[in-house]
Structure formats: C-alpha cells, structure tokens
Amino acid sequence: MIEVLIRGAVCTVCGCCCDDLNVEVTDGRVERVENACSLALSKFKHYSSERILKPLMRVGNGFKETSYKEAIQESARLLVNSNYPVLWGWCLTSCEAVELGLELAELVGGVIDNNSSVCHGPGLIGVQDIGISGCSLGEVKNRADLILYWGSNPVNAHPRHMARYTALAKGRFVASRRERKLIVVDVRRTETAKLADEFYQIEPNSDYELLTALRCAVNGEEIELSTVSGLPVERVEELADALISCRFGVLFYGLGLTMTYGKSRNLDAALSLVRDLNRKTKFLIMPMRGHFNVTGSNEVFTWVTGYPFGVDLSKGYPEYNPGITTISDVLRRGECDAALIVASDPIAHLPSTLAETLKKIPLITIDPHRTPTTEASQIVIPSAIIGLESTGTVYRMDGVPLECKRILDPPPGVKTDVEIMSDLLSRVKELLT
C-alpha cells in the first residue's frame, strides 16, 4: 500500500537537478521512484548505508559518541581559536546552508572555498575574462538544432541530459532527434560519442589549438597547418561549417575542457568562439556542472562576497585570487590550522599531498555518511540528506533555482545542514562577544 506519493521531487545527484521524480514511500521507506536514472536510483537505494547517526568526537585512534550540544561547542571553540581556518565543500548542500557558511567564514576570519575550485573554476575565470552567451535548458530543448558536447560524457555523468534537454528531447520548435545534429569533441570515443552524428577525436591537451583554429575558420582566416590537434585541417573546416550552418547551436563543456592543459585559457577560447559564431548565427555555451548544487554555491558566494569560489576573508574583506586563495593554495603553503568540511570528501578527492596536509590539522566534518574525511576528523556531526530528508534551494546547471522536497524524516536526532550551521554560528558569536 502506498502511504505517500511525492510528485515532482528534485533529484540531488548531478547538475541536471531533474525535478520530475515521483517517489512512492511506504512505511517510511522509498519503495519506487519514477523518472530516475541509474545514478538517482542508486542514491535512493543506498542512502542509508554508511550512515552516521550520532555526533562523534575523536579519542586517540577512534571516536566516542558525544552530544550534539558538545559537538557544536567544541567545533565553535576550534574555529574561534584557529588563526586561519579553511571552510570547504558547499556543493552538496542547500543555498541556505552556504549563506550561513559565508557568515561563519567572515566571523572566524578564514578562507571559504567550494568544489568548483578543483573542477569548473577555470570556466568561471574564463567567464570573468570574456563573458558568456548563456540560456536556460528549456530554450535548448525547444530550439537547439545543433548540440556540441566538448570534453563531456553525459551518457555516463548526466544520464538524462540528452533525453530531457538536448539530442533526444522533444522540443516545441525542434521536435525529434532527426532535426538535431549531435557533435562530440573528445580525446576518446565515449558512450556519448558513439551516439553522435559527428565525432572529432583529438589529441589529449590540444583543445586550445582546435578552438583557436575553429575561430580562424569561422572568421574566414586561413589555417596555415595541415593538421590541428590530430585532425586534418579539412575536418576542422568541416566542423566550423557545421557550427556556422545551424540555426541555434549550444556548446556544452565538461572537465575535459576545464581541467586539461590551458584550463581557463581553453575557456577563453571556447567563449570567444561562441562570441564569434554569434556574428553568423545563434550560438550559446553552458558548463556541464557535476554536483547538484555547485552552481548554487557559486551564486551565493558571488552575491555575498562578489566572487564565486576561493574567497579569503581573513583580512575582514573578501579577497579572491585563484592561485593564492583556494583550498589547494592554502594547503600547499601549509598555512591553515583548522578546517570545517561541509558535505564533501576532500581526503578522498584532493591530490594526496594536500589530503595529507588536511589530515594533520583538526577537521570538523558535517556529513550524512561515513567517508575517508569523517574518518580523519576531530569532530563529526551527522546531517540530514538534502532533497530526501530536508528541503532547501538548489541551482540547476543553467542557473535556474529549484526548491527540493522533503520525502522522508531524517533519523532521530539528526539535524539539517541549516540547523547545524545556525547553531554553530550562534555559538561562535557567543564566544566572540
């Protein structure tokens, strides 16, 4: 018997933030989920495994359970006594929690950074350099007749992206796959490339060269080479012709562009190519954001400080200088002396030298699940899972805000990120007065 049917739930896995999930709940358990892809189904199936249910405090090589009040008090004390704390994560939580994190960072005088500094950060720097011709995914669905995925493999990383918004979507003005051209540029024949009308396999780390050659071809300049990025120049000109010939094109880029040689310069070139194309036709560009609220995290950082990631508040005003003020920079210099990690696992995902530095300082981690980072922490505070056990605002990859629904009750005594951040902030304010 279905006790509750929740329609239009937002999926909190990838940056597509699909908001059409129908979730059946029986006896407090998720029984069935409609419209979910394999990644989303896996989340619904495994959300309760490796769960942390009580606040933990380190004792020697192990942990002892502690009260929520004591965990908050000790966390506040650690942050207030720290000279230069780093506050990291913020992409797997709500915008409301991010806003509280920024207030906390200002109070304790630390660096606050989010996951985009190690994924799409170069894209954000490129946008600051050049500007962006953007749109919503709804416009893509209804109007785009050419889709170009560059260094991105949505079949595996964003499984419903093509069906909901691009090549396979049924749009208002472009209604079928036959009416859309799908092009993939990548260093290997990915699952997405196998579905493409045209696949351009390029040499690794040669995106900048190809983008620059495409700009030459689009602008009617001669390319004085026989090959570019491993492609015969005729293929480059053919690709440029396809881009010019569409009525409404969109370039979706992934980490294959932002994290290969050139980084933000690749994005300068891609954004400039799209600007050049707009002299001939309508062309737009969008990042394929990974975590479900990395876009929201960038938005809230920018509203509050003026900058999207890697903000140093230790001098009492926001300072932003990627290469100096991101988590990688402060860890590499060995400067931070405490860290608050919210909904992230940097020990598993940062380069090992930086992870080793993190392990040497007191870590406070707020997370629903046991991870390598919680295992290395001084204090662990369990949290509710947003989009499943708590509400909150998240931003889809195209910058559209969505309100997550609460589907289940969190485990007894487990608070939401917003409740935890509010309590931590209150305690820090008490200690500072």
Contacting residues toward ligand SF4, per CB under 6 A: 11, 13-14, 16-18, 36-37, 39-40, 158-160
Q: CB-wise, 21 or 251, nearer to ligand SF4?
A: 21
Q: How far is CA 368 from CA 5, 27, 57, 170, 347, in A?
A: 24, 21, 16, 37, 16
Q: CB-wise, 38 or 226, nearer to ligand SF4?
A: 38
Range list of β-strands (E), 216-324: 227-228, 231-232, 248-253, 282-287, 311-312, 319-320
Q: How far is CA 102 from CA 70, 218, 343, in A?
A: 23, 43, 15
Answer for the pair 165, 275: CB distance below 8 angstroms, yes or no: no
Q: How far is CA 168 from CA 24, 287, 396, in A?
A: 27, 19, 19
Q: How far is the CB of 34 from ligand SF4 (least distance, A)?
A: 11
Q: CB-wise, 16 or 23, nearer to ligand SF4?
A: 16
Q: Measured between alpha carbons, how far is 401 from 158 in angstroms, rounded to an integer?
A: 18
Q: How far is the CB of 17 from ligand SF4 (least distance, A)?
A: 5
Q: CB-wise, 16 or 311, nearer to ligand SF4?
A: 16
Of the candidates 2, 139, 21, which has an alpha carbon nearest to the alpha carbon of residue 404?
21
Q: How far is the CB of 134 from ligand SF4 (least distance, A)?
A: 19
Q: Measured between alpha carbons, how far is 103 from 190 in angstroms, rounded to an integer?
A: 42
Q: Measured between alpha carbons, how far is 97 from 430 in angstroms, rounded to an integer?
A: 20
Q: How far is the CB of 43 from ligand SF4 (least distance, A)?
A: 8
Q: CB-wise, 307 or 395, nearer to ligand SF4?
A: 395
Q: CB-wise, 37 or 343, nearer to ligand SF4?
A: 37
Q: How far is the CB of 291 from ligand SF4 (least distance, A)?
A: 10
Q: How far is the CB of 45 from ligand SF4 (least distance, A)?
A: 13
Q: CB-wise, 42 or 321, nearer to ligand SF4?
A: 42
Q: Is 301 helix (H, G, I), strand (E, B) or coil?
A: helix
Only one residue has tokens 């929690």, namely 97
Helices 121-130 and 264-277 meet at what angle, rounded to 10?
50
Only one residue has tokens 């304010």, namely 429
Q: How far is the CB of 18 from ligand SF4 (least distance, A)?
A: 3
Only one residue has tokens 């942390």, namely 52
Q: CB-wise, 40 or 304, nearer to ligand SF4?
A: 40
Q: Is 87 helix (H, G, I), strand (E, B) or coil?
A: strand
Q: How far is the CB of 9 from ligand SF4 (least distance, A)?
A: 10
